[in-house]
Structure 1
């Protein structure tokens, strides 16, 4: 288990699936995590269990817990590029009671430190959509920088939005947060 100031990260367990399924069916959680409401909700609990427990060997998923071992979100990485020592990360704080309180930022710092120091990654990438300002600010606190914009790449509630592409180098992170 990885420990931060406010969060713990561990592998996803079978007991987590009911809660994760609820988040997938929560319009507000899906709206801010991906802008994909209602598309993500078209998965059954069994499909989500396979995705999170058995999943693809190319996608790594972890649970985010608070100080009291309460499941509050998920974090992970995909698109592993071994020669480039890079990956794309994602995070969802599914428990809305924890939004805007620094839990996501703490989990991202713990996770980035793990990936940079234990996996020896050189670079992490992520993306969000242009109206997800809360997420962009959290990513910037961790050290991510906006690297680009894909024009009208996201379709959210009948409107096109730009995708914001962000990246973080190991040297930048370690200078900001240490080992």
Structure 2
């Protein structure tokens, strides 16, 4: 399994994934699936580094099967979630785009690998995610990776989940200096 930076040639497969029933259920709006132009407009600037959200593609044996992204929390998010501004907190989001890869352990592997990347390369103190409370499969995966539920947010529709550097069960992440 490989996690690599997303490039412009990935936008076609991203459009395909963002239009699947499995992805739309929790990542997007099932009533308004995005067009190729909308996907380009949203993810093109991220690929180019013009937006502070870093997109990645996950591959197994050279076949792309998932999307991941990370970003440093905004000041508004720090306040909303109750974090001190002296901590370095990153958010991450992901989905598996290929339905035949679901329920095969890839989600757990990719979340652990991406958390390791964020802790080692970004030197984050913690990583947060906000899955919908009804996305039980994702929540179970995140808990297996060491994330814990902190509180319900967005009027009880999502969980704020956190993984602290010192609780990370992957390889030892070097402390931030």
TM-score by length of 1: 0.81
1:12-66 deviation digits (Å, cap 9, x = unpaired) = 12221111101111222210335x3224x1x331231232232342111100111
How far off is 1:152 after superposition?
4.1
Task: Identify the residue that residue 80 of structure 1 maps to in structure 2.
Answer: 73
Structure 1 runs of 4+ with >4 Å offset:
none
- Contact 2:72 2:88 survives alignment (8 Å): no
Q: 2:123 aligns with which of 111, 120, 123?
A: 120
- Matched residue count: 159
Matched with 2:175 is none
Instruction: Pick one of 19, 39, 42 that aligns with 1:51.
Output: 42
The alpha carbon displacement at 1:178 in A equals: 2.4
Cα RMSD (Å) of the superposition?
1.9
Q: Could you tell me the TM-score, scaled by structure 2's length?
A: 0.81
Q: Which residue of 2 aligns with 1:159?
A: none
Give the conservation status (yes or no) of the 8 Å contact 2:73–2:89: yes
Higher relative CO (CA 8 A, sep ≥ 6), structure 1 or 2?
1
Q: Which residue of 1 aligns with 2:30?
A: 37
Residue 81 (structure 2) aligns with: none
User: Could you list the per-position Cα deviations for residues 102-149 of structure 1 after superposition, in whole angstroms to 9, with x for gaps in the alignment?
Assistant: 111111111111111121100100011121110001001110000011
